[in-house]
Structure 1
């Protein structure tokens, strides 16, 4: 029996049908647009990492700097025709004469609920877009034949068109491709894979809490499925999540190790919260290494509040530490 998703996270089936219809109707026009594009001009910043690692905050921060284009909640409705969606967004938000249609808030709030944000212009995960090109059928690792069937040329052209529409480099989440980072990298002439890592204990605690928030209980699997899912699913919830976080991070690190240094960057969530400007400077260096500029002073928060707080009973904390030790051989006392 499928686990029952809690009401705030359930899909609206009527909306799903409407979006499918609209995107199908727009597809021919999008196809015409794509004939003009091949590859993004700037490096595409792709955030990777474990679920609940701080990726949403990182994307919100990138959006708030004003230096990057990014998928918004509004744009996500046009997952099959993102260039047209970008133009519609600009008509409604940037050129809405005297607020005749909507009163959009251009500010990007640093809040979210299991990766979901509020507001038309707030960042969106854009998973429907990613799944158009990279469709894993079992776990989230694409098999070689699934990679072979991916239309990577169109994927790159779609990103190039979206970049051109906004006139800025793109930043987006790409955690669905945690297990195929080299494959995605080969599809793009310029890219920066930004790995956000969080203290494992708090990462596991947060993912356990996400299960309860999403399903109302700990037992159902939530979010990314590493290849190890096939045997992790038979363990206790705490062991499942400890393995999910450990094996996901390990896969990301292995994928990034295959890339040139100019195309990869790792940041600890805790360090990012303490000094976000340092990450901006590191990104600027990676842009320069790929022949592009992210020049100009940093304009953004000086720091963020770290969300690492012990919230689980002592017995659960001990179980998390023991489970992670089983997989990694490491001690992760909070």
Structure 2
């Protein structure tokens, strides 16, 4: 059975999560049997992307195509006890097959692929707001130790949390064997989708550069938000551990994109094995500049913001 983000059971689950943090000390009991097995240095495949760029689909494609460990809704629910959550998730969800569908990034069901806002904000300090002062290196080091105990040979931990876009350097510092999959989408389609879910309010990732600005219009706000997130990712990316893919390529040929990620990971001594076959393609959503007045306003705002950008790759993203 699956439930939407605003269903009563999901609201009850959020209340449970707020109280569950007091159960954190219990996790040490569940870690004891895991210590009987020698820990492994868990490899990580970390998706970084702006919101509404195809990151959830990328997450679902990778967790389907590759043998892996990843955060599920049941694990995110039990976020304060990661050893218990990881074991329960593996037991309940080992045969899970992705639906390749989501609502604003939420995949329903206990075994649905979870972005993990509660999990990652608790263990890394990184929320959807960019704030280097809020990061928790000690907690992330503790989580790394638990994940090492849960690790299986040649099965990376795949994570699709949007907040990683602001904390790539922290993730790199704690996970030696890490590959970042940087997902981009044509800026207009991305901006239009983000505009639709945010309306007049701020939605999802908030770069530090945008925190104290006043905007003349919501189009200017969305353009600045989106381009600033790309600038943040690009400024933290390294050629040796970051591979860039596009939402459009993923929809056209998901297996080819996965193969390119597998080959890149292999260069980092991260070996992965196939799990399930993928669909041949996915339907891609695309918006043209002259679709309506909103798209025309967005094109103007995006062109102005890209022109003021500092990263050479941004025009390429816009023109694709």
Higher mean C-alpha displacement, 194-203 vs 35-44: 35-44
Going from structure 1 to structure 2, the CA distance change for 1:328 and 1:311 (only over 3 Å counts) comes to closer
Of the candidates 148, 151, 157, which is equivalent to residue 160 of structure 1?
Answer: 148
What value does the CA root-mean-square deviation take over the aligned residues?
3.2
Contact 1:38 1:153 in 2 (8 A): no
Residue 207 of structure 2 is matched in structure 1 by: 226
Q: Which moved more, 1:285-294 or 1:299-308?
A: 285-294
1:175 maps to which of 155, 159, 162: 162
- 1:155, distance to aligned residue in structure 2 (A): 2.8
Q: Secondary structure at the match of 2:6?
A: helix
Deviations 1:239-289 (A, max 9, x none): 111111111011101110xx3x33111101111111212222222223322
What is the TM-score when the length of structure 2 is the normalising length? 0.83
Secondary structure at 1:194 match in 2: strand
Shift of 1:154: 0.9
Residue in structure 1 matched with residue 300 of structure 2 by the alignment = 322
CA drift of 1:308 comes to 1.4
Cα gap change, 1:321 to 1:111, in 2 (>3 Å): same
- Using the TM superposition, name which of 202-211 and 68-77 deviates more: 68-77
Determine whether 1:288 maps to 2:286: no
Query: What CA distance in whole angstroms lies between the structure 1 residues aligned with 2:93 and 2:164?
Result: 31
1:172 Cα offset (Å): 1.0
Structure 2 Cα separation of the partners of residues 11 and 323 of structure 1: 40
- Structure 1 distance, partners of 2:29, 2:290, is 51
- How far apart, in 1, do the equivalents of 2:66 and 2:136 lie? 36
Distance 1:253 1:77, change over 3 A: same
Q: 1:253 aligns with which of 223, 234, 241?
A: 234
**In structure 2, distance between residues paired with 1:7 and 1:301:** 26
Q: Secondary structure at the match of 1:110?
A: coil
CA drift of 1:10 comes to: 9.0
Deviations 1:26-59 (A, max 9, x none): 5333466178499753420111011101000001
Looking at structure 1, the residues matched to 294 and 80 of structure 2 have their Cα atoms a distance apart, in angstroms, of 43
2:44 alignment counterpart: 44
Q: 1:275 aligns with which of 253, 257, 262?
A: 253
Q: Distance in 2 between matches of 1:323 and 1:10?
A: 39
> How do 1:28-107 residues align onto structure 2 when only pairs under 5 Å count?
28-30=26-28, 33=31, 36=35, 41-92=41-92, 106-107=96-97
Distance in 2 (alpha carbons) for counterparts of 1:232 and 1:47: 28
- CA distance 1:189–1:115, change in 2 (3 Å): same
Q: Is contact 2:39-2:148 (8 Å) kept?
A: yes
Extract unaligned runs of 5+ from structure 2: 308-314
Q: Label 1:30 to 1:62 Cα distance change in 2 as closer, same or farther (>3 A).
A: farther
Q: Retained in 1: the 8 A contact 2:82–2:143?
A: no
Of the candidates 184, 187, 212, which is equivalent to residue 174 of structure 2? 187
**1:196-241 CA distance string (max 9 Å, x none):** 0000000000001112xxxxxx111111001122344533111111
Please identify, of 71-80 and 38-47, the stretch whose mean Cα deviation from structure 2 is larger: 38-47
CA distance in 2, matches of 1:130, 1:55: 16
> Which is worse superposed, 202-211 or 324-333?
324-333
1:226·1:247 contact (CA, 8 Å) conserved in 2? yes
